[in-house]
A = this chain, B = another copy of it.
Amino acid sequence: MPLLESTAKGVYVIAPTPFHPNGRVDEASTDRMTEFFLEAGADGMTVLGVMGEAPKLDADESLALVRRIVQRAGKAGVIVGVTAPGFAAMRWLARNSMEAGAAGVMIAPPSSLRTDDQVVAYFRQAAEAIGDDIPFVLQDYPQLFQVQMPAAVIRRIVADCPSCVMLKAEDWPGLEKISALRAAQASGEMRPLSILCGNGGLFLEFEMERGADGAMTGYAFPDMLVDLVRLSAAGEREAAHDLFDAHLPLIRYEQQPGVGLAVRKHVLKRRGVIASDAQRKPGSGLTPQAVAEVEYLLSRVGRADPRARLMPLA
């Protein structure tokens, strides 16, 4: 399997973990989902991320899921979230995932970190703990992890950790940070770094214009993300914004903390991708009113973007 590199571009879909209503991992849905993402044009997938309900799987289940998806994903790169409360578990999952064929891993900082030096030291130790032969994605998501990494700190991490090849950019606001990092790269102060954007895609059209390489998010229409990234890369600004704006009401609805995963699983189920929208405990569900709102948004998105079919790509 090719390793993740700092030249990576495009769309890496954050994959949810499909469960049966009884809580067991749904392997058939996992396969179908993997194929759906690839047919939608994704360049890769990220599994066991925040949206993947990773902490609800035990160690063996986690690795089994990685193996299954890697096998199905073929030449598309699979990134594995290995964030853990300690380096022992992080190393275990990272090394076993790479052996299974993953392209790289993703690491988020523990919420106890505060000062610049603490953040930089943490990633240096993490990179050493998993082994610096494993390329990793730095996840910058202050709203969730409560750790702030200004551009200067990210540059220090990139300088200290040769195995850091990608940034998952989901600071909020984050546009100026992308510009600052690209400027540092252009001036030679920072080596090249792939920047894929998360945050549910809520600012993706502008993030691309600021120099991002693509998206890493789990919006339930990855086909749209692929189109948007392509249009934006091709400089078709109006078309990119038109497409984005057609989906924004739903993207925004998905961005509600604690609700987003339920919306995504609901839409993926409606699109025929997964069999059940079940979450393992402690999970969240949609009230009937929320389901009706999502359905209403789907109908409006369908009208504004006729390509946003609910059926999986043929």
Contact = CB atoms under 8 A, between A and B. Distances in A.
A312 to B, nearest CB: 26
Interface string A268-288: 000000000000111000010
A150 B118 CA distance: 10
Interface string A129-173: 100000000000000000011101100000000000000000011
Contacts of A203: 252-253, 256
Oligomer: number of copies: 4
B150 A259 contact: no
Nearest to A287: B176
Contacts of A256: 172-173, 175, 203
Interface residues of A, number: 60
Interface stretch (A66-74, A188-196, A220-228, A241-249): A241-249
B55 A173 contact: no
Contact of A89 (B59, B114, B287): B59
A55 B282 contact: no
Contacts of A84: 55, 85
Contacts of A249: 241, 244-245, 248
Contact of A206 (B245, B258, B282, B293): B293
15 contacts: A55-B85, A59-B59, A114-B114, A114-B148, A115-B116, A115-B148, A117-B150, A121-B282, A172-B257, A173-B257, A206-B253, A209-B293, A210-B289, A241-B249, A248-B249
Sorted nearest first, the 3 A-B pairs with minimum C-beta distance are: A55-B86, A173-B256, A55-B85
Interface of A: 53-59, 61, 84-89, 91-92, 111, 114-118, 121-122, 125, 129, 148-150, 152-153, 172-173, 175-176, 179, 202-203, 206, 209-210, 241, 244-245, 248-249, 252-253, 256-259, 280-282, 287, 289-290, 293, 300
